Chains A and B, each alone.
Chain A
Amino acid sequence: MRKYATRSVGIAAGASLLLFAASASASEQDFTQVEKGRYLATAADCVACHTVPNGGRSFAGGRPIETPFGDITSANITPDKDTGIGAWTDAQFENAVRKGIRPDGSRLYPAMPFTAYTKMSHDDVVAIRAYLKTLPAVHNPVVRDTLPFPLNIRAGMRAWDALYFTPGEFKPDPNKSAEWNRGAFLVEGPGHCGACHTPKSFLGGDKNSEYLQGSQLQGWVTPNITNDNVAGLGAWSVDDIATYLRTGHNRITAATGPMAEEVENSSSKMTDGDVKAMATYLKSLPGESNNPQPLKSDDPAMKAGQAIFRDQCSACHSIDGKGVAKLFPSLADASMLRSRDPRSAIRLVLRGARSVATDAEPTAPGMPSFSHQLNDDQIAAVLTYARNAWGRPAAAVTASDVSEARRELRARTD
């Protein structure tokens, strides 16, 4: 009885602290607020874009963010007064993060995903600010205006905002579970999954009718992450998705490319409950499932593809395409392989790839490049085979798809 009483007092004290934090401005003195901010900054993966990879000072900016319009250089968000955001007020910070408006009134490009971050609350963003204030100030001037004329005229973003930006905090759906709502908040808000996974209009705005159905990024096609049965997560369970986000690996596939970076910096550091909530939400999204009939096994591409698969691929991915759980992806189930746009699958064959290492899954297995081993016809055939051999078929890959991918990749150093 006594114990119980003591504990209630503890909880009450904690709650009042929270209330206090909510009403205060960002303060690096407040552990609760800083910790909340640190977690949200992790969920929002701020560090990824605001740090130069491989050795740049964390949050000091300067990383070129690739967009279809040119590279945009990320800002220094350390508390440095001259080159960072040390001189900003909390209100200015919130305006930038949730509305895309800088202190001088000029507009941010949506490479900074304020269109998603707007779903965070005022308190959330102030907490992130409190966390950022605890970081060492790094003097690192960043040249921000790197886009060519006329895109370098930021005033143009006003019109863009009118077209594509709906400001406003996340509103829970009372008809859904608390878990679903938490997942929806994380996916739509700080997680900004749509930034990479929702197709974009020619102006770079989200095509909301194709929400999370796959887009492109840094020479990769990002997969459909709705519940679509073929190209999406239809074959994945909630646990499969959660395990993937937490460890970078599951029984079906492994994270590589930009998603490896996301897992490493962000989702592997989130709580089990939160990644499960995100998974629950993603599984609830209906996907488009308008897919072709499977190619017949006597189709010449299928026959050639099967022979190549047996020679080149089956040692790891096994004859039945199922691979080895958490080591060699199951091509029988992998949805990325079945993306309508096959460029990521082609890239994996041409370039090979390294999966992400996490504490839970340290192995980080890699796939070698087959670009010298197989010509365009052979790669097209083997991918066509793998896309059709084990159910949930996808359209044939052509040799010209492969040669185009070869040409594009030649220009890429990443």
Chain B
Amino acid sequence: MARILPKKDVVIVGLGWTGCIVANELTDEGLDVIAIERGPWRDAPTDFPTTYAQDELRYHIRHELFLRPDQTTFTFRNKTSQTALPIRTWGAFMPPNGVGGGGVHWNAETWRFLPSDFVLKTHLTQRYGAAFLPEDMTIQDWGVTYEDLEPHYDAFEYLCGTCGTAGNVKGKIMEGGNPFEGARSRPYPNPAQKQGFAHALWGKAARELGYKSFPQPSGNMSRAYTNPLGVRMGPCTYCGFCEWFGCANYSKASPQTTILPVLVRKSNFSVRDNSEVTKINTDRAGKHATGVTFVDASGTEWEQPADLVILAAYSMFNVQLLLLSKIGQPYDPAANTGVIGRNFTHQCMSSVNGFFDKSKFNFNPFISSGAIGMTIDEFNGDNFDHGPHGFVGGGYLTHAQTNGRPITTTTVPPDTPKWGAAWKKAVADNYLSTVTGAGVHGSFYSYRDIYLDLDPTYKDRFGRPLMRMTIDFHDNELKAAAYLTDKLDEIVKAMGAKQTQKKPRKGPYDITTYQTTHLNGGAVMGTDRKTSALNRYLQSWDVPNLFVMGAGAFPQNAGYNPTGTVAALAYWSAKAIREQYLKKPGPLVDA
């Protein structure tokens, strides 16, 4: 029997980027907010001090900052005809854990999606006709536009001190930036980071091939910065320990370095860490959330009543909580009904390695940052005519090598033996003169047979069903990967590589090899409650005092890193709560 705590105005499940953003906005509104976080409290100088944070074995290989699969995991299969099995070691993606969430371990690549990405179904249908899209593709419009989100993208970039070169300020195309980006109201708060030799060489080669290369927008600071909340950050040192690691150099935008210092000083904000929410509670009719139930580290079960419930956990855990709490109709792929679990997607990453003459090229790959790199956007979204190619979607092409860390930076030419003296010699010969993982950050559109549901067999430590992932690549994504990888290969060759190795993404979807942590969909936003779990304000269609943050709201994934869009949506939703919902609690969109 759960012990009942005093009621709060708002309970937030998960204290990563979105939890922090919404908490900060709603505490500004004067509401009493509590956040419940499954993992531990984490603070920059005490939990990732610069004296030991640069430990590849501890943080990368042994997954220090991530969820332990024995706390909870997912089951996985490619096809509905298969039996899903539990993931016992993280591979394709890395579920975050603890205060700061994915905002601690990310690279801080801070993108905006294209205006056409938000009206994808309408846009592609108008340009190519409905018949051009694969029959089982279930892409749809978001219900929110780029213009709606622009002020909120801007807010997040200024919170983080994002460093970049604007490509489109108020409709004016700017030299050196991304000419394809949506119009931004003002430039980035900070200039782009300096580029390494290999990154700059890639950018130059791309220019020579006629592309408009530009520096990737980065949350690693190019200079000291003080954000609008008065929180200070220091210049990045290009230490090469960014993704998988926390930054106590105050150089990488994270909740700890941008927003938490202000949030924790507020008397109307509190946190319970090491506490896992097990259920969203509703009234008898299931139409109104009454709070959440959680279990603390001692195994004691508590109920936290609240007027407003905000799900702000990692995308898949938000979906799982909805399913376990029986909120919204679960998706059924056979009948093509229901919404919770529908339009689940990931990313479709490809890469090219380039091997250079070591007497002429010394890239010093260890001088790097998480979001360093030069990029082109000619092959993203619908920035190019897909008519001749027979696929939709795309991705940015980049050389964004983030590090030269000793354990994993062992890229050798494909004909090298896999072990022994010859392999060691090849590692030594190539370490300084190899472009490792120039990348295609490919989109992954949604399909009828890719979804999330509750596993019929496997249970977590509380006896709750694990979440089951059914996911595989479709021809559309693999065709796009092949085409984009060829384009990338041309650029790496133009840099002067003596040999290249193309690695276009191939099926089936592999759960053991890292792609990105950008799993999304499953509780998507939209304009029609038959095909979306949330309305355009991230409000549950079924339970109006429940809002669900995160990439779970993406109806399909674009060819970018999601954090900028995830954060912009959180600001957008918080604004709707502040300006509309609190004045008149109830559905913000008539169903």
- Tell yes or no: B233 within 8 A of A by CB: yes
Chain B residues with CB under 8 Å of A365's CB are 45, 232, 250
Chain B residues with CB under 8 Å of A312's CB are 51
- Tell yes or no: B534 within 8 A of A by CB: no
- Tell yes or no: B174 within 8 A of A by CB: no
User: A residues 281-332 with Cβ under 8 Å of B?
Assistant: 312, 315-316, 324-328
User: A residues 359-378 with Cβ under 8 Å of B?
Assistant: 359-370, 372-373
Chain B residues with CB under 8 Å of A363's CB are 230-232, 250, 261
Chain A residues with CB under 8 Å of B45's CB are 352, 354, 365-368
Chain B facing A: main interface SS: loop
B219-259: CB near A (< 8 Å → 1, else 0) gives: 00000101001111111010100000000111000000000
Chain A residues with CB under 8 Å of B46's CB are 354, 366
Chain B residues with CB under 8 Å of A120's CB are none
Select A357's contact among B248, B250, B261, beta carbons within 8 Å: B261
Chain A residues with CB under 8 Å of B52's CB are 368
Known: A316-B249, A352-B45, A357-B261. Contact between A368 and B232, CB under 8 A?
Answer: no
- Tell yes or no: B83 within 8 A of A by CB: no
Chain A residues with CB under 8 Å of B249's CB are 315-316
Residue of B nearest to A366 (CB): B45
Select A315's contact among B43, B50, B230, B232, beta carbons within 8 Å: B50
The minimal Cβ–Cβ distance linking B418 to chain A, given in whole angstroms, is 35
User: B49 to A362, Cβ gap below 8 A?
Assistant: no
User: B232 to A326, Cβ gap below 8 A?
Assistant: yes
Q: Say which size band chain B's interface belongs to.
A: 20 to 34
Known: A363-B232, A365-B232. Contact between A327 and B224, CB under 8 A?
Answer: yes
Chain A residues with CB under 8 Å of B49's CB are 352, 366, 368-369
Alpha-carbon gap, A106 to B262, bound state (A): 47
User: B224 to A362, Cβ gap below 8 A?
Assistant: no
- Tell yes or no: B265 within 8 A of A by CB: yes
- Tell yes or no: B169 within 8 A of A by CB: no
User: B232 to A372, Cβ gap below 8 A?
Assistant: no
B28-52: CB near A (< 8 Å → 1, else 0) gives: 0000000000000001111001111
User: Total contacts A to B, CB within 8 angstroms?
Assistant: 66
User: B250 to A327, Cβ gap below 8 A?
Assistant: yes
User: B residues 278-319 with Cβ under 8 Å of A?
Assistant: none
User: B residues 42-69 with Cβ under 8 Å of A?
Assistant: 43-46, 49-52
Alpha-carbon gap, A212 to B437, bound state (A): 60
User: A361 to B44, Cβ gap below 8 A?
Assistant: no
Alpha-carbon gap, A367 to B45, bound state (A): 6
Chain B residues with CB under 8 Å of A326's CB are 226, 232
Residues of chain A at interface, number, CB under 8 A:
25
Chain B residues with CB under 8 Å of A372's CB are 51
The minimal Cβ–Cβ distance linking B45 to chain A, given in whole angstroms, is 3
Chain A residues with CB under 8 Å of B265's CB are 357, 359, 362
In the complex, which of the residues B50, B226, B265 has the most CB atoms of chain A within 10 Å of its own CB atom? B50
Select B231's contact among A352, A362, A367, A369, beta carbons within 8 Å: A362
Alpha-carbon gap, A327 to B224, bound state (A): 9
User: B51 to A327, Cβ gap below 8 A?
Assistant: no
Chain A residues with CB under 8 Å of B233's CB are 327
The minimal Cβ–Cβ distance linking A31 to chain B, given in whole angstroms, is 24
Alpha-carbon gap, A366 to B52, bound state (A): 14
User: B261 to A364, Cβ gap below 8 A?
Assistant: yes
Chain B residues with CB under 8 Å of A373's CB are 51
User: A362 to B229, Cβ gap below 8 A?
Assistant: yes
Residue of A nearest to B237 (CB): A315
Alpha-carbon gap, A368 to B232, bound state (A): 18
User: A368 to B248, Cβ gap below 8 A?
Assistant: yes
Known: A325-B224, A362-B229, A365-B250. Contact between A370 and B51, CB under 8 A?
Answer: yes
Select A368's contact among B50, B226, B237, beta carbons within 8 Å: B50
Alpha-carbon gap, A149 to B321, bound state (A): 65
Alpha-carbon gap, A77 to B239, bound state (A): 53
Chain A residues with CB under 8 Å of B262's CB are 362
Residue of A nearest to B230 (CB): A362
The minimal Cβ–Cβ distance linking A83 to chain B, given in whole angstroms, is 28
In the complex, which of the residues A316, A360, A373 has the most CB atoms of chain B within 10 Å of its own CB atom? A316
Chain A residues with CB under 8 Å of B234's CB are 316, 324, 327-328
User: A362 to B51, Cβ gap below 8 A?
Assistant: no
The minimal Cβ–Cβ distance linking A353 to chain B, given in whole angstroms, is 9
Alpha-carbon gap, A373 to B43, bound state (A): 21
Alpha-carbon gap, A83 to B167, bound state (A): 70
Alpha-carbon gap, A352 to B44, bound state (A): 13
Chain B residues with CB under 8 Å of A361's CB are 230, 232
Alpha-carbon gap, A354 to B43, bound state (A): 11
User: A362 to B239, Cβ gap below 8 A?
Assistant: no
Alpha-carbon gap, A362 to B46, bound state (A): 16
Alpha-carbon gap, A326 to B248, bound state (A): 16
Chain B residues with CB under 8 Å of A369's CB are 49, 51
In the complex, which of the residues A352, A359, A366, A372 has the most CB atoms of chain B within 10 Å of its own CB atom? A366
**Top 4 closest pairs, chain A to chain B, by CB:** A366-B45, A368-B49, A362-B261, A315-B237
Which residues of B approach A to under 8 Å, CB–CB?
Answer: 43-46, 49-52, 224, 226, 229-235, 237, 239, 248-250, 261-262, 265
Contacts beyond the supplied A354-B46, A362-B231, A363-B231: 4 A-B pairs with Cβ under 8 Å: A361-B230, A362-B230, A362-B265, A366-B44
The 18 listed contacts between A and B (C-beta, < 8 Å) are: A312-B51, A315-B237, A324-B224, A325-B224, A327-B233, A327-B250, A328-B234, A359-B265, A362-B230, A363-B230, A365-B250, A366-B46, A366-B248, A368-B45, A368-B49, A368-B51, A370-B51, A373-B51
